[in-house]
Each structure stands twice: as C-alpha cells, then as structure tokens.
Structure 1
C-alpha cells in the first residue's frame, strides 16, 4: 500500500472541507433580497449559482458513479426550491460526506485505475482520483464566482472569508 496516495487524497479532502466551511459561511451573509442578483443576463443569478455550488459534491458523485441523465437531473431538481443558507449548507455537507464515504471505500488500485465516464461523455472516462481533483477545483471555481457576486453586492467579504485567519498575514 502506498501511503503517499492516501495522504494526497486526505489533503484534497482538507481543501474540500475548507471550501465547504467557507462556502457555508459566505452563504450565511446573503440577504433574502440579494438572491436574485444576476451580474449579466447571460449569467446565473446568485441563488442559481449557490444551488449549483452546494450541489457539486452530490451531483458529481452521481456522475462519476455513472448514474443516468435522468437520475442526475432528479438530483438537480431536488434543490431547485431551496432559498435559505441553512438548507443550502445542509445539501453541501451531505454531499461532501457522501463523496468522502465513497472515495474512502476505494483501495489504492481503484483510486488510481478505476475509470468511469459521465453519461454526457462516455468516450472520456477518468480515474477516481482525477474525479476527486476535478470536484475540488469545481467547488473552488464556483466559490470564487459567488465571492465576486458578493463583492459586487457590496457585502463585507474579504480574503479571510475564503481562507480563514491565515490570510491575515498575507501581503502582496
């Protein structure tokens, strides 16, 4: 068994936990009248973005487990009515927990060599470890988008909201 592989997986989960914690904290700052904010007509509204962001872990888990388009669509629809920070945060917590359970159930060979393909790109399989990296970057991408929306709404957010107290000492 290669312990370095499991160490890297754990580091990715640490990053995912940071994304989870900071996303939930950011969500709690959004006021009800700000959810419909849309920076441009061809972009998601803040609530649409938040719903997508919090659902990334569960949705991507379903996709990497090769669930059908109908099953994934059903998951997406299940969060369409949510419009409060607590409920949105709960979705993300449950998704991250399910993703961790799945990834932790895999042995080294499965992490590195088991390939699965999404229903929309059957010709592009990826190994489970790559899926984990992609999901982590996907979370950070949309968390960054949400942060930008919040800045545009003049909400009091800073680097500390993204990275915690450690960012207080960063200088550029």
Structure 2
C-alpha cells in the first residue's frame, strides 16, 4: 500500500465524522461567535469545508505562497455542506496523484518571498491537512455545545450520543 493510500483511508474515515458535525449546523446561528475574538460559526465551518482542497492544492506544488486571504462568511448551511462535498472530492483526486517519492519530497511555504518552512510533503498532509482539520473540528464541537446543539460521537461517546450503548 502506498503512503497516500494509507492516508486517504484515514481521510475518508475522518471526513465522515466531520460531516456529522457539519450536518448539525444551525442555519440561524451561522453568524454567532462565542467570543468577540473568535470566528463566527459559519466562517469556522466554511474553513473546515474548504481546507481539504486548499491544502491538497498547496501540497501539489513544490512551493506555496501564502497570500493571507480569509474565509468568506457563508449565508446558508447548504453552502457549507456543498463546499465540503466538492472539496473532499477535489482533495482526494489531487492527493491520489502523488506517489511515495512525491509524498516524501520537500515542500516549502513562503510569504512575500521569505521561506516560512520547508518540510517533507507527508508532514504537510499529516500536520496541516489532517491534524489541522481535526483541530478545527474540535473547535466546532465546542461551538455546537455552547449553542445547545447535540454533539455527535467523535472518537467515543459524547454527552448526547453513545455508539456503544
């Protein structure tokens, strides 16, 4: 099995869990923020929806220039769900083209011509695509809890859902 195939197995499994959270987004609360310095629920969810394809596209390049663009404020839950579905397919298609040599090759991130980091592409996919999405998914579960939306089981039971019962 190739390195990317093993990572795609995890990507596919974890995407199902992410979908469960996104499915529970209350449309009337997309502009809600838990704190003035926090992103809105909608922006956080849209970032999660867009990240897989954006990061996979960056991984397809040898050097990626950060431009500092932000995530737009979505107006509907459907917009977020559709973006997630489309971006999962795009990310999977992009990642599937990478063989082990490509996955292990160096990748660099730059900003205004300055190198911010150079890491093996596999570290980008693991740390920034997969782990980054898990991090934001954790934030999203807290947002849902604060909004009194039932939180699905993620890696085990939640206060609202027990897959082992």
Q: What is the TM-score normalised by the length of structure 1?
A: 0.76
Paired residues of 1:57 and 1:95 also in contact (CA < 8 A) = yes
1:99 aligns with 2:91: yes
* Structure 1 residue runs without a partner (length 5+): none
More helix by share: 1
Q: Which of structures 1 and 2 has the larger relative contact order (alpha carbons within 8 angstroms, sep 6+)?
A: 1
* Structure 2 residue runs without a partner (length 5+): none
1:116 aligns with 2:104: no
Paired residues of 2:57 and 2:94 also in contact (CA < 8 A) = no
Match of 2:57 among 62, 78, 102: 62
Question: What SS does the aligned partner of 2:109 have?
Answer: coil
Tell me the C-alpha RMSD between the 2 structures: 2.6
Question: What SS does the aligned partner of 2:110 have?
Answer: coil
1:131 aligns with 2:114: no
| Equivalent-residue separation in structure 2 for 1:139 and 1:88 (angstroms) | 15
Aligned pairs for 1:1-172 within 5 A: 3=1, 6=2, 8-64=3-59, 65=61, 66-70=63-67, 73=69, 80-112=72-104, 114-120=105-111, 122-134=115-127, 135-159=129-153, 162-163=154-155, 168-169=163-164
| Equivalent-residue separation in structure 2 for 1:116 and 1:169 (angstroms) | 42
Post-superposition offset of 1:155: 0.6
Do the aligned partners of residues 148 and 92 (structure 1) sit closer, same or farther apart at CA in structure 2, a change above 3 Å counting?
same
Post-superposition offset of 1:49: 0.7
| Equivalent-residue separation in structure 2 for 1:40 and 1:13 (angstroms) | 35
